[in-house]
Amino acid sequence: MMTPVTLRRLGVNLGLLVLVLGLAGLVWWQLQQKEQALQSARVLPLSLSEVNSVVVERKQEGIDSKLVLKREGEQWQLVEPQQLAANPVKVRQLFTLLDEKVESTYPSAGKDLSAYGLNPAELSLSINGHQLVFGQTNPVSNNRYLLNAGQIQLVNEAVYSLLQEPWVNFVALQLVPDDFQLSAVQLPSGFAELPQLVSNWKNAEALRIDSFDPQKLTADLPKVVLTGSSGTRELVVVNLKEDIVLADPVKQLTYVLPISQAAQLFPAKTSLEPSTK
């Protein structure tokens, strides 16, 4: 049989338990409200792990162009205008937009969109199908106008100039993609065939990538033949003086590497090596 003192203690303990549960519920509710407020203040309610497709559409001097990126596992691939591995640094820069805060928003209905640089749409970015049209900047705040799901938003962003870069800037700087599974490198005559040559070419990265005009291709230019699991790939040696310049005529790309890598990629023969004659 419980004594009055025991009953009082039990009542106090139950009261404390109710109080603790009530405080826990209040903290949970406040956290949920805070999370919802943060989500609503962002450009898109997406986390980086949820993003799997990106489409950039732009009109420059009356010419329409499209850039399409898709995620394959943990890697991003350029799908249009060519199928190539994507530059992970550029992709990360692009997704900084997901963390930007919307400074203000209001309905676009009845507004003159041309006054905000939103019509005609000259530059747009679609992430997982959510289209964002980029307009001009506000002259006071320097924030950029975005058209997002029927809303005009002001956002302090840092991707507008990135979206206007040439598509080749989004190509991975790695000279030989991992999925090519490089197994052999055949250099032009006059260079040494060293055991570490395959490893050196696997690790090589360009400083930049430019477009290559196939009409500049001449028969006298030496070639490097790369062999991998999916076949062979030829790179034309355009320059080995100021920089290493290698052209891929099939992809119409030029890889520019520092001349300091010449000893690793194009090792010179020495008198200690056996003659190949």
Find the mean pLDDT for residues 57-66: 81
Nearest to residue 230, comparing CAs of 174, 173, 179, 172?
179
Q: Which helix (H) or strand (E) segment is 138 a member of?
A: none
**Residue 14: pLDDT over 80:** no
Mean pLDDT, residues 177-203 taken together: 93
Cβ atoms 170, 87 nearer than 8 A = yes
d(CA 202, CA 184): 10
Torsion sign over Cα 39, 45, 50, 54: negative
Poorest-pLDDT segment among 41-50, 253-262, 266-275: 266-275
> 48 vs 126, 128, 197, 229, CA distance in Å?
14, 11, 37, 32
pLDDT, tens digit, for every residue of 107-140? Answer: 999 999 999 999 999 999 999 999 999 999 999 9
CB contact at 8 A, 56 and 63: no
For the entire predicted model, the pTM comes to 0.78
Portion of the chain with pLDDT greater than 90, in percent: 70
Q: Is the Cβ–Cβ distance between 96 and 159 less than 8 Å?
A: yes
* Placement of tokens 């979206």 in the chain: 163
